[in-house]
């Protein structure tokens, strides 16, 4: 009886702790004020509806996804009866950086086709928007755009995000055409003026500027920017606009049209896509590609294409990384083992500096494994292989040469590893996760209620915490293993051990 009461007390304490630990991010503060609903807060009836009716063929937003159940392997009832608002908070609280394995898995959750939470309203909850916001926070604009278009950007909050994604991916004309064609979308004055100008109706745009300014719908700063956007010749010789601390995709586009294109380096990740264009210059493209690759927003092949597009004409920082990678890539293409072995350490050091080790492994691990290396190059090849999708094959084919390798090879194969002498807390926490296959007590109550998805999101927060508590880390990895997400657990564990600075 004492044990049972102690367990119940522990579960209650864990529930209270989990309820306090989530710090959700708000709706992205950089979204353009592009859509207005002036009468949305006015009641049209005092009668309280008794039943929510969903028309035949209507879309349940919370069920919309890009990845089918056969692709993800996730159970359709993953969300169970979890509170939709809690799930939305957990989605928005997910990090935009961290372990690539966990970033990839939480993106899968955001894109997956799943049944809505049991208590969610038929027309959808904030969960769909939170899934979009997770993608936007990581700069995954293509994925966000595809998910929105699968659902249909008809609601104003969804259209607002789609409009901004379109601006940031150089599809402003399409966005404005959609705004004009949708009678349910009421644009704000800045968005209306921008789209009128894009369509060539400059007189209507100028009239709207005067009207909006006279009625107080435009601030002085907005009116100044729009006036310059509509007729930049009137402002020749005047100093450029001061920096905008509240830059939005709409104001970014207007400033870019004026030749005052802001640097995306210090802006949210979503703006980095604008720097992938040739007009931004190669240095800006390189910085954007590194940021977006680390967040998982673009593929390693896209990053490599930008890294190898030109020959660096300077040195230091990113230029040294580009030079090291290009030299190594040329050696790989030439197929000369001795040259590859000579250049591999410098290339790997450059990737470590940029936090691009996993992207490098995804591209080169398989080709490196075929090389007849010895000594340092062979050890690096084994490490790179463990960070690739072929980690288990590497661990089965190679012979570990140290206690650390015996540890990582065992984890790669899903076997209970031996704890090395003098292991630190992180290593002890990872080893503990691979010696106990049971569901951790702190997550058991969520699993018992069928709320597996909520448990997984909470564990993902732990795994992407910069310095997690050792017991929390062990339980998070154990959870993924105990519910069959072995690949996520192994890759996250290997990244924890191999990517430590």
CA distances (Å), 228 to each of 209, 210, 221, 240, 451, in order? 11, 13, 11, 10, 53
pTM, two decimals, is 0.90
Contact 352, 365 (CB under 8 A): no
If phi > 0 it is left, if psi is from -120 to 50 it is alpha, else beta; for residue 216 that is: left
24: tokens are 């959700």
pLDDT of residue 26: 57
pLDDT of residue 22: 59
pLDDT bin (cut points 50, 70, 90) of residue 3 is very low
Contact 163, 34 (CB under 8 A): yes
Cβ atoms within 10 Å, residue 323:
17
23 class by beta-carbon count within 10 Å (0-12 exposed, 13-18 middle, 19+ buried) = exposed
- What is the DSSP track for 396-455? HHS---SHHHHHHHHHHTTPPPPPPTT--HHHHHHHHHTT--SPPHHHHHHHHTT-HHHH
Reported as a single tens digit per residue, the pLDDT across 169-198 is 999 999 999 998 988 888 999 999 999 999
- Determine which of 33-37, 236-240, 304-308, 409-413 has the lowest per-residue pLDDT on average: 33-37
For 368-380, b where at least 16 C-beta lie within 10 A, e where not — what string? Answer: bbebebeeebbeb
What is the residue whose two structure tokens read 């503060």?
29
Highest mean pLDDT among 26-30, 36-40, 42-46, 305-309: 305-309
What is the residue whose two structure tokens read 């390693």?
300
| Count of H-run helices and E-run strands, the chain | 26, 0
Q: Is 300's pLDDT higher than 90?
A: yes
- Determine which of 66-80, 112-126, 135-149, 295-309 has the lowest per-residue pLDDT on average: 112-126
Contact 158, 179 (CB under 8 A): no
Contact 463, 99 (CB under 8 A): yes
Reported as a single tens digit per residue, the pLDDT across 47-61 is 333 333 444 345 689
Reported as a single tens digit per residue, the pLDDT across 244-288 is 888 999 999 999 999 998 888 889 999 999 999 888 899 999 999
pLDDT of residue 25: 52
Percentage of the chain lying above the pLDDT 70 cut: 89
Cβ atoms within 10 Å, residue 56:
4
The Cα–Cα gap between 262 and 280 comes to 10
Question: Span 307-333, mean pLDDT?
Answer: 95
| Beta bridge partners of residue 187, listed in sequence order | 35
């Amino acid at each position: 009886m004492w044990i049972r009461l102690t367990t119940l007390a522990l579960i209650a304490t864990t529930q209270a702790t989990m309820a306090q630990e989530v710090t959700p991010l708000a709706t992205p503060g950089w979204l353009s004020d592009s859509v207005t609903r002036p009468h949305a807060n006015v009641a049209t009836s005092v009668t309280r509806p008794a039943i929510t009716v969903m028309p035949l063929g209507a879309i349940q937003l919370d069920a919309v996804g890009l990845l089918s159940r056969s692709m993800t392997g996730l159970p359709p009832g993953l969300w169970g009866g979890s509170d939709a608002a809690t799930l939305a908070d957990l989605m928005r609280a997910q990090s935009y950086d961290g372990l690539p394995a966990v970033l990839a898995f939480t993106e899968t959750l955001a894109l997956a086709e799943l049944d809505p939470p049991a208590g969610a309203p038929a027309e959808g909850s904030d969960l769909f928007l939170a899934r979009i916001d997770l993608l936007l926070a990581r700069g995954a604009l293509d994925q966000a755009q595809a998910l929105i278009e699968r659902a249909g950007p008809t609601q104003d909050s969804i259209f607002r995000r789609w409009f901004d994604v379109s601006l940031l991916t150089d599809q402003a004309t399409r966005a404005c055409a959609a705004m004009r064609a949708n009678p349910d979308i009421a644009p704000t004055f800045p968005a209306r003026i921008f789209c009128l100008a894009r369509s060539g109706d400059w007189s209507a745009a100028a009239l709207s500027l005067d009207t909006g300014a006279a009625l107080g719908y435009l601030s002085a700063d907005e009116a100044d920017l729009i006036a310059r956007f509509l007729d930049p010749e009137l402002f020749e010789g005047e100093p450029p606009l001061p920096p905008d601390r509240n830059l939005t995709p709409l104001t970014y586009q207007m400033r870019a049209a004026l030749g005052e294109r802001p640097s995306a380096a210090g802006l949210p990740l979503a703006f980095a896509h604008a720097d992938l264009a040739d007009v931004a210059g190669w240095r800006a493209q390189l910085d954007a590609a590194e940021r977006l690759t680390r967040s998982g927003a673009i593929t390693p092949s896209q990053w490599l294409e930008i890294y190898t597009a030109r020959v660096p004409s300077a040195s230091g920082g990113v230029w040294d990384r580009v030079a090291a990678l290009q030299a190594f890539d040329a050696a790989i293409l030439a197929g000369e083992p001795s040259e590859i072995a000579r250049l591999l350490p410098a290339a790997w050091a450059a990737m470590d500096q940029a936090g691009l080790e996993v992207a490098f492994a995804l591209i080169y691990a398989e080709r490196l494994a075929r090389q007849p290396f010895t000594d340092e190059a062979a050890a690096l090849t084994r490490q790179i292989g463990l960070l690739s999708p072929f980690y288990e094959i590497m661990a089965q084919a190679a012979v570990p040469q140290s206690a650390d390798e015996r540890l990582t090879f065992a984890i790669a194969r899903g076997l209970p590893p031996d704890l090395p002498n003098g292991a630190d807390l992180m290593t002890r926490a990872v080893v503990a996760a691979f010696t106990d296959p049971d569901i951790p007590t702190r997550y058991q109550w969520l699993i018992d209620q069928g709320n597996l998805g909520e448990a997984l999101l909470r564990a993902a927060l732990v795994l992407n915490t910069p310095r997690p508590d050792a017991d929390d880390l062990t339980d998070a990895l154990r959870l993924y293993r105990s519910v069959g997400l072995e690949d996520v657990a192994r890759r996250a564990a290997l990244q924890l051990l191999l990517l430590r600075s």
